[in-house]
Amino acid sequence: MVKTRQFALVGIAVAVACIVGFLAVNNGQSQPPAEPYTPPAVPKGQTYTGAKRCASCHFKQHMSWKKTKHATDAWSKVAAKYQKDPACLKCHVTGYGAEGGYVAGTDAAILSNLVGVSCEACHGPGSKHEEICKKYATKKKLSADEEKEARGSIYKFLPDNVCVRCHGTPGHKDHPKYDK
Is 17 part of a structural domain of the chain?
no
CATH of the domain at 73: 1.10.1130.10
Q: 25-43 pLDDT, tens per residue?
A: 444 444 444 455 566 667 7
- Note down the domain range covering 148: 37-162
Contact 48, 126 (CB under 8 A): yes
Position 32 scores a pLDDT of 45
Is 30 part of a structural domain of the chain?
no
Is 125 part of a structural domain of the chain?
yes
**Among 27, 105, 117, which Cα is nearest to 76's?**
117
Q: What percent of the chain has pLDDT over 70?
A: 62
Is 150 part of a structural domain of the chain?
yes
Is 21 part of a structural domain of the chain?
no
Across the range 40-58, mean pLDDT stands at 84
Is 168 part of a structural domain of the chain?
no
Q: 108-144 pLDDT, tens per residue?
A: 544 567 888 999 888 888 999 999 999 998 998 999 9
Helix (H) and strand (E) counts for the chain? 10, 0
Position 171 scores a pLDDT of 61
* Global pTM value: 0.68
How many structural domains are present in the chain? 1
- State which amino acid sits at residue 151: R
Is 13 part of a structural domain of the chain?
no
What mean pLDDT, rounded, does the chain reach? 74
Point out the least confidently predicted range of 45-49, 150-154, 169-173: 169-173
